Every structure is written in structure tokens, then in C-alpha cells.
Chains A and B, each alone.
Chain A
């Protein structure tokens, strides 16, 4: 449910529930994309040779 859905009500319940949900999804999205960007950056700049220790 998004704030533009017709069932949306501007009350604390909706803000807390959906806010918590989007906070968690947003955190996950940012963390994964940060890792993707770092991996691509490593590949472009260093050829990825720094992570052979795994």
C-alpha cells in the first residue's frame, strides 16, 4: 500500500506500520545496491584483484 492508494488514511497507525515496512525495505535496498556499486567500482578501477583472500 502506498500513500496514493485510495484506502490510505493519514493517521499514526498507517505512518508507523508502513513507515517501519518501507524503512526495512529501503535499508535492504540501499545495502544491496551499495555492495553492487562497490563491486562494479572495484572491477572498473582495480580489476577486482584485492579480494582474492576469500
Chain B
């Protein structure tokens, strides 16, 4: 069934339990799906855009209020919608980093954080992780000292991930930020895997800048996200235009330079807004999601040879497993080779794990019910047993 010429109707989430590492938290709520139906047309939020002609001032649909609610939701002073977390990184790097400025990132920073530094012509320096795949305050302090010593400059900005995309580990962001602040380094906390999934209090973390992803963790269409700041940084990051046309003399009101004026002018912002009441509720139920991921991980660990590379017990549903000594051994002789595992999962109505993976792979169980978590856990054990692997459960 097609939804357009040559475009198949996507039914992954209607047919399967979807464990895709990047898709779980962005799955739309039914209200967001309804918003998509009503606001799919291009500039659909601009029907009632009046002076001063900026997205965060539109009151119908209630985007002005939504911006305030978003800031309050993450306990920051000001928030703007951005087309994905990456555009938040880009806006901040562009505002704060000058050519050749050193910028601190971590061993688990997303590539878009690096590229935002590259675009601003800064020089990236990574804070290493420890053997448990955690970024510590001591590693941050050592790296700051080293960067200052070797470059003769204080880093212009530090990026730190609250939960990283590689291991799904929860890092001691508040401690790291305290260290950075001792050197007067502003910190951008990357909450792409946390804002909208678990409760995030930007002020409690000490973040100067906080970025969340709508399509990754706030049940919103892509590309969407939020960039929130403290009052101290709002003026710098959300500076308004001062440019003037040399022939026409035109000026451009209160458009914000780093936002390129308005950001999410249609289905993305309304989809995000429609999901928001549900998102506010679901972050309070995060403990259940942690319980469910541990249930699945425990089942996987009962399969002989399987290890979990993420911190354990799990504190977040994004998890990295190592099945080199279990499922990968089966793949050597299986007729479907490395595809046997994902194929067996699909036969059981489970999707989202990278096809062909039998060594190191990630899953994200965010959003499953207890019944579905048990079903997934049982499915892994059933597959293992069917292939002759020994299981302790």
C-alpha cells in the first residue's frame, strides 16, 4: 500500500514492537498524529501570525504559551524550538565560539556537536571516558587544565551529554558542570536522550544551555527540538538582527539571528505541542521504563556468553549489548548467517535492531508496556534456546 507514488506506507510501529535505538522516544502520540493530519500544510502555523511576526509570539495555535511551558518544563529561563538538537548545538556554537577557540566535547559527543564546532571554526578537544564508559568530573578537570596549558586559552564552550548515544549511560553532568564553572566555561547539556523521556531540571544540573530533541525523545515529528538557556545566555544566543539592506534600507524586526528568524513553522511544532501534555506525564513514569529495560537485559544476560556493555543495572532504556560469544557464534553456521537474529525477532513481531547484528548492537525499549517487555525478554531467550544456546532462566 502506497501513500504516494513509489512511497510505501510505513507501518513499523503498527506491526512490531520497535526497539530502534533512535526511534523509540520519538514515536508520535495519537494527538501528535492528529496534529500531523491537521497541520501538514507548509506554513500552517502562520494563519494568525501578527506583529512582531515571530514563531514564539504566535498565540493561535498557542505557540507563545508552549515556548514558556517548554522553558518551565526543563527549568530554564528561555526556550526556543529548533529543527532538531543539532540546530541547537549549531546556534550555540555559532554564538559562543570564535575561530581557533578550544571547545570541550566528550568521547561520546554526537557528530553534530563536532560539526557545530567545525562550522564555528573552533578546535574540539574530547574529555575521555573511564573504563565504565562514564565521563567523570575528574576527567573533565584534567582535560580543561590540559587544554588551557597547551593552547593558552580557556575553552569557549563545553558540550556534555546527559545520556550518551553509544552506551545510553547517565553521566554525572551536574558534577562536570560544577568543574567547568570553576573555570568560567559555559556548558551546553545535550539532553537529546533525556528531555521528554525523564525529568530534567536544567537549573539543578547547572546547565547554561540545554538542548532536547523532539523527534528523538519528545514524541514529535522530525526535525524538532528545543534549545533552552538561562537568562545569562539568552541575550547572546537569541540575539536579534541588526542588519540593514544597503539599497532598500530594510530591517528585519526582532528575528533572531541564530534561529534564522522562525524555526518550526508547521507540522513539527504543532506535533511537538500536541504530544507535550503526554510527555509531561510520561517523564514521571520513567522508573517503570527503567524496570522494563532491566527485565529485558536480565533475560539477555541469562543467555550464556552475553554481556551488557552499558552500565548495569540500566538507568536508561537505550542499551548496548555484546552477543559476540552467544548469537554471533550461531551466525557462523546458520543458513541466514548474521541475519538470523533480526529475522527471528521479526518473525516474533519485534523490529528495530540493526539487520545483521549479532556482535555488538543497541536497542531502546522506551515506551513498551510491562507485557511487551516480558514478551521481548522471552523472545530473546526462546531464540537462544531454539539455536541451542544455554540459558540460565
A is bound by B: no
The interface of chain B, by Cβ under 8 A from chain A, is none
